[in-house]
Chain A
Amino acid sequence: MGSKHTLTIPGRYEKIQQVCHFVAQGAVQAGLGESAVFHIELACDEACTNVIEHAYGGEDVGEIEVSWQVTGKQFVLTIHDHGRPFDPSEVLPPPDYSDPETGPLNNSRTGGLGVHFMRKLMDEVTFHFDGEGNTVTLVKKITGEVKRKA
Protein backbone atom coordinates (compact mmCIF):
# COMPACT_ATOMS: atom_id res chain seq x y z
CA MET A 1 0.00 0.00 0.00
CA GLY A 2 1.42 3.39 -1.00
CA SER A 3 1.61 6.38 1.27
CA LYS A 4 -1.37 8.68 1.68
CA HIS A 5 -1.12 12.20 0.26
CA THR A 6 -3.44 14.88 1.61
CA LEU A 7 -4.28 18.46 0.72
CA THR A 8 -6.82 20.59 2.60
CA ILE A 9 -8.45 23.58 0.91
CA PRO A 10 -11.02 26.14 1.97
CA GLY A 11 -14.48 25.34 0.60
CA ARG A 12 -14.33 27.85 -2.21
CA TYR A 13 -14.91 27.20 -5.92
CA GLU A 14 -11.70 28.95 -6.98
CA LYS A 15 -9.67 26.52 -4.84
CA ILE A 16 -11.03 23.38 -6.50
CA GLN A 17 -8.64 23.61 -9.43
CA GLN A 18 -5.70 23.49 -7.01
CA VAL A 19 -6.90 20.24 -5.51
CA CYS A 20 -7.72 18.83 -8.95
CA HIS A 21 -4.11 19.42 -10.00
CA PHE A 22 -2.87 17.79 -6.79
CA VAL A 23 -4.95 14.70 -7.51
CA ALA A 24 -4.10 14.64 -11.23
CA GLN A 25 -0.39 14.77 -10.39
CA GLY A 26 -0.92 11.80 -8.09
CA ALA A 27 -2.71 9.88 -10.83
CA VAL A 28 0.18 10.58 -13.22
CA GLN A 29 2.64 9.37 -10.56
CA ALA A 30 0.55 6.22 -10.18
CA GLY A 31 1.13 5.58 -13.88
CA LEU A 32 -2.42 6.18 -15.06
CA GLY A 33 -2.96 7.25 -18.66
CA GLU A 34 -4.18 10.63 -19.87
CA SER A 35 -7.83 9.64 -20.14
CA ALA A 36 -7.96 8.12 -16.65
CA VAL A 37 -6.20 11.18 -15.21
CA PHE A 38 -8.87 13.41 -16.79
CA HIS A 39 -11.63 11.20 -15.35
CA ILE A 40 -10.13 11.40 -11.85
CA GLU A 41 -9.67 15.17 -12.09
CA LEU A 42 -13.26 15.70 -13.25
CA ALA A 43 -14.70 13.35 -10.61
CA CYS A 44 -12.72 15.19 -7.92
CA ASP A 45 -14.01 18.53 -9.24
CA GLU A 46 -17.62 17.34 -9.16
CA ALA A 47 -17.23 15.88 -5.65
CA CYS A 48 -15.72 19.12 -4.26
CA THR A 49 -18.37 21.22 -5.99
CA ASN A 50 -21.03 19.01 -4.39
CA VAL A 51 -19.46 19.56 -0.96
CA ILE A 52 -19.68 23.34 -1.33
CA GLU A 53 -23.18 23.30 -2.83
CA HIS A 54 -24.82 20.61 -0.68
CA ALA A 55 -22.80 19.76 2.45
CA TYR A 56 -21.79 23.36 3.22
CA GLY A 57 -24.58 25.14 1.35
CA GLY A 58 -22.20 27.83 0.07
CA GLU A 59 -18.63 29.01 -0.12
CA ASP A 60 -16.32 29.72 2.84
CA VAL A 61 -18.31 27.61 5.28
CA GLY A 62 -15.74 24.88 5.91
CA GLU A 63 -12.69 23.04 4.63
CA ILE A 64 -12.38 20.16 2.20
CA GLU A 65 -9.75 17.49 2.85
CA VAL A 66 -8.70 15.56 -0.24
CA SER A 67 -6.44 12.50 -0.08
CA TRP A 68 -5.15 10.00 -2.60
CA GLN A 69 -3.43 6.70 -2.14
CA VAL A 70 -2.46 3.77 -4.32
CA THR A 71 -3.61 0.48 -2.84
CA GLY A 72 -2.70 -2.54 -4.93
CA LYS A 73 -4.11 -1.92 -8.38
CA GLN A 74 -6.38 0.91 -7.31
CA PHE A 75 -6.09 4.68 -7.15
CA VAL A 76 -8.21 5.65 -4.15
CA LEU A 77 -9.38 9.23 -3.73
CA THR A 78 -11.23 10.45 -0.64
CA ILE A 79 -12.96 13.80 -0.18
CA HIS A 80 -13.91 14.69 3.38
CA ASP A 81 -15.95 17.62 4.69
CA HIS A 82 -17.48 18.75 7.99
CA GLY A 83 -20.84 19.71 6.54
CA ARG A 84 -24.36 18.43 6.86
CA PRO A 85 -25.12 14.87 5.74
CA PHE A 86 -25.21 14.38 2.01
CA ASP A 87 -27.49 11.54 0.95
CA PRO A 88 -26.86 10.66 -2.70
CA SER A 89 -30.13 8.71 -2.81
CA GLU A 90 -31.94 12.04 -2.42
CA VAL A 91 -30.27 13.40 -5.56
CA LEU A 92 -32.44 12.82 -8.59
CA PRO A 93 -30.61 11.45 -11.60
CA PRO A 94 -30.12 13.96 -14.38
CA PRO A 95 -32.97 14.17 -16.87
CA ASP A 96 -32.84 12.11 -20.04
CA TYR A 97 -31.87 14.96 -22.33
CA SER A 98 -32.46 12.90 -25.47
CA ASP A 99 -36.16 12.45 -24.59
CA PRO A 100 -38.27 15.44 -25.76
CA GLU A 101 -40.54 15.00 -22.73
CA THR A 102 -37.73 15.34 -20.20
CA GLY A 103 -35.18 17.17 -22.32
CA PRO A 104 -33.89 20.66 -21.63
CA LEU A 105 -36.67 22.43 -23.54
CA ASN A 106 -39.35 21.03 -21.24
CA ASN A 107 -37.37 20.71 -18.05
CA SER A 108 -35.52 23.43 -16.21
CA ARG A 109 -33.87 20.97 -13.82
CA THR A 110 -30.14 20.69 -14.43
CA GLY A 111 -29.02 19.14 -11.14
CA GLY A 112 -27.84 15.61 -10.56
CA LEU A 113 -25.05 15.74 -13.12
CA GLY A 114 -22.26 15.84 -10.52
CA VAL A 115 -23.08 12.50 -8.87
CA HIS A 116 -23.89 11.03 -12.29
CA PHE A 117 -20.45 12.05 -13.57
CA MET A 118 -18.68 10.58 -10.54
CA ARG A 119 -20.43 7.25 -11.05
CA LYS A 120 -19.74 7.17 -14.78
CA LEU A 121 -16.10 8.22 -14.52
CA MET A 122 -14.94 6.08 -11.60
CA ASP A 123 -15.04 2.33 -10.95
CA GLU A 124 -16.41 2.65 -7.40
CA VAL A 125 -18.13 5.53 -5.61
CA THR A 126 -19.23 5.41 -1.97
CA PHE A 127 -20.68 8.06 0.33
CA HIS A 128 -20.40 7.86 4.11
CA PHE A 129 -21.51 10.19 6.90
CA ASP A 130 -19.86 9.54 10.28
CA GLY A 131 -21.74 12.05 12.40
CA GLU A 132 -19.13 14.76 11.94
CA GLY A 133 -18.89 14.95 8.18
CA ASN A 134 -19.13 13.24 4.82
CA THR A 135 -16.50 11.15 3.12
CA VAL A 136 -16.78 10.36 -0.56
CA THR A 137 -14.49 7.59 -1.74
CA LEU A 138 -13.74 7.37 -5.45
CA VAL A 139 -11.81 4.42 -6.81
CA LYS A 140 -10.17 4.07 -10.22
CA LYS A 141 -8.71 0.72 -11.15
CA ILE A 142 -5.16 0.83 -12.45
CA THR A 143 -5.40 -1.34 -15.51
CA GLY A 144 -2.73 -2.60 -17.87
CA GLU A 145 -3.34 0.33 -20.21
CA VAL A 146 -1.36 2.82 -18.20
CA LYS A 147 1.29 5.35 -18.97
CA ARG A 148 4.47 3.95 -17.53
CA LYS A 149 6.78 6.22 -15.63
CA ALA A 150 10.07 6.92 -17.38
Chain B
Amino acid sequence: MSNSTLNISTENYKRAAVITVSGRVDSSNAAEFDAALKNALAEGHHNLVIELSGVNYMSSAGLRAIVAAHRESHKKGGDVCLASPSERVAEVLSLAGLQSVFTVYPDTLAAVGSF
Protein backbone atom coordinates (compact mmCIF):
# COMPACT_ATOMS: atom_id res chain seq x y z
CA MET B 1 0.00 0.00 0.00
CA SER B 2 1.66 3.16 -1.22
CA ASN B 3 2.29 6.62 0.09
CA SER B 4 -0.54 8.99 -0.78
CA THR B 5 1.41 12.17 -1.36
CA LEU B 6 2.83 13.35 -4.65
CA ASN B 7 5.88 15.61 -4.67
CA ILE B 8 7.28 17.17 -7.82
CA SER B 9 10.29 19.43 -8.17
CA THR B 10 12.02 20.79 -11.27
CA GLU B 11 15.67 21.71 -11.66
CA ASN B 12 16.89 23.36 -14.82
CA TYR B 13 20.26 22.44 -16.25
CA LYS B 14 21.92 23.78 -19.39
CA ARG B 15 20.94 20.82 -21.56
CA ALA B 16 17.87 19.45 -19.81
CA ALA B 17 15.28 19.98 -17.13
CA VAL B 18 15.13 17.36 -14.39
CA ILE B 19 11.70 16.64 -12.99
CA THR B 20 11.97 14.67 -9.76
CA VAL B 21 8.79 12.89 -8.74
CA SER B 22 8.05 10.96 -5.57
CA GLY B 23 5.06 9.33 -3.93
CA ARG B 24 1.97 8.03 -5.64
CA VAL B 25 0.94 9.03 -9.18
CA ASP B 26 -2.64 8.12 -10.04
CA SER B 27 -5.78 9.55 -11.62
CA SER B 28 -6.28 11.96 -8.71
CA ASN B 29 -3.02 13.81 -9.30
CA ALA B 30 -1.81 12.88 -12.79
CA ALA B 31 -2.96 16.31 -14.02
CA GLU B 32 -0.45 17.91 -11.63
CA PHE B 33 2.33 15.67 -12.99
CA ASP B 34 1.25 16.40 -16.57
CA ALA B 35 1.30 20.15 -15.85
CA ALA B 36 4.84 20.00 -14.42
CA LEU B 37 6.09 18.25 -17.54
CA LYS B 38 4.26 20.66 -19.86
CA ASN B 39 5.56 23.67 -17.91
CA ALA B 40 9.16 22.52 -18.34
CA LEU B 41 8.61 22.13 -22.07
CA ALA B 42 6.85 25.48 -22.31
CA GLU B 43 9.80 27.16 -20.60
CA GLY B 44 12.01 26.04 -23.48
CA HIS B 45 13.50 22.84 -22.05
CA HIS B 46 13.08 20.40 -24.90
CA ASN B 47 15.05 17.67 -23.16
CA LEU B 48 13.50 16.24 -20.02
CA VAL B 49 14.84 13.83 -17.44
CA ILE B 50 12.14 12.33 -15.22
CA GLU B 51 13.63 11.01 -11.99
CA LEU B 52 11.38 8.26 -10.65
CA SER B 53 13.27 6.50 -7.87
CA GLY B 54 10.85 7.82 -5.23
CA VAL B 55 7.65 6.82 -7.04
CA ASN B 56 6.17 3.86 -5.22
CA TYR B 57 3.00 3.64 -7.30
CA MET B 58 2.03 4.74 -10.80
CA SER B 59 -1.21 3.94 -12.62
CA SER B 60 -1.87 4.31 -16.35
CA ALA B 61 -2.85 7.94 -15.70
CA GLY B 62 0.77 8.73 -14.85
CA LEU B 63 2.03 6.89 -17.90
CA ARG B 64 -0.23 8.95 -20.13
CA ALA B 65 1.45 12.13 -18.85
CA ILE B 66 4.91 10.73 -19.63
CA VAL B 67 3.85 9.59 -23.10
CA ALA B 68 2.32 13.00 -23.86
CA ALA B 69 5.52 14.77 -22.74
CA HIS B 70 7.59 12.40 -24.88
CA ARG B 71 5.53 13.32 -27.95
CA GLU B 72 5.68 17.07 -27.28
CA SER B 73 9.40 16.94 -26.61
CA HIS B 74 10.09 15.19 -29.91
CA LYS B 75 7.99 17.79 -31.77
CA LYS B 76 10.45 20.38 -30.47
CA GLY B 77 13.49 18.30 -31.38
CA GLY B 78 14.12 17.05 -27.85
CA ASP B 79 13.72 13.83 -25.95
CA VAL B 80 12.48 12.46 -22.63
CA CYS B 81 14.48 9.93 -20.68
CA LEU B 82 13.91 8.28 -17.33
CA ALA B 83 16.26 8.07 -14.38
CA SER B 84 16.28 5.25 -11.81
CA PRO B 85 12.64 4.13 -12.00
CA SER B 86 11.56 2.16 -8.96
CA GLU B 87 10.73 -1.52 -9.35
CA ARG B 88 7.01 -0.74 -9.37
CA VAL B 89 7.36 1.91 -12.09
CA ALA B 90 9.54 -0.39 -14.19
CA GLU B 91 6.85 -3.07 -13.94
CA VAL B 92 4.11 -0.66 -15.02
CA LEU B 93 6.23 0.59 -17.96
CA SER B 94 6.73 -3.00 -19.03
CA LEU B 95 3.02 -3.81 -18.70
CA ALA B 96 2.23 -0.94 -21.07
CA GLY B 97 4.96 -1.99 -23.52
CA LEU B 98 6.81 1.28 -22.97
CA GLN B 99 10.12 -0.14 -21.73
CA SER B 100 11.69 0.09 -25.19
CA VAL B 101 10.37 3.60 -25.90
CA PHE B 102 12.30 5.42 -23.19
CA THR B 103 16.01 5.32 -22.49
CA VAL B 104 16.46 4.53 -18.81
CA TYR B 105 19.55 5.66 -16.89
CA PRO B 106 20.67 4.48 -13.47
CA ASP B 107 20.84 8.04 -12.10
CA THR B 108 20.11 11.66 -12.93
CA LEU B 109 23.74 12.53 -13.65
CA ALA B 110 24.01 9.91 -16.38
CA ALA B 111 20.65 10.96 -17.82
CA VAL B 112 21.53 14.67 -17.99
CA GLY B 113 24.94 13.81 -19.39
CA SER B 114 23.31 11.92 -22.27
CA PHE B 115 22.03 15.16 -23.82
Interface residues, chain A, with chain B CB atoms under 8 Å away: 13-14, 16-17, 20-21, 24-25, 37-38, 41-42, 45-46, 49, 52, 94, 96-98, 103-105, 108, 110, 113-114, 116-117, 120-121
Interface residue from B59, B92, B101 paired with A98 (Cβ < 8 Å): B101
B9 at interface, CB cutoff 8 A: no
How many angstroms between the C-alpha atoms of A46 and B26 in the bound complex? Answer: 9
Can you offer 25 A-B residue contacts whose CB atoms are under 8 A? A13-B27, A14-B28, A16-B26, A16-B28, A17-B24, A25-B1, A38-B88, A42-B92, A45-B27, A49-B26, A49-B27, A49-B61, A97-B97, A98-B97, A104-B70, A104-B71, A104-B101, A105-B70, A105-B74, A110-B67, A113-B64, A113-B96, A116-B96, A117-B59, A117-B95
Picked from B2, B60, B70, the residue with its CB within 8 Å of the CB of A113 is B60
B14-31 CB mask vs A (1 if < 8 Å, else 0) is 000000000010111000
Interface string of B45-86 (1 = CB under 8 A from A): 000000000000101110110011011001000000000000
A22 to chain B, nearest CB (A): 10
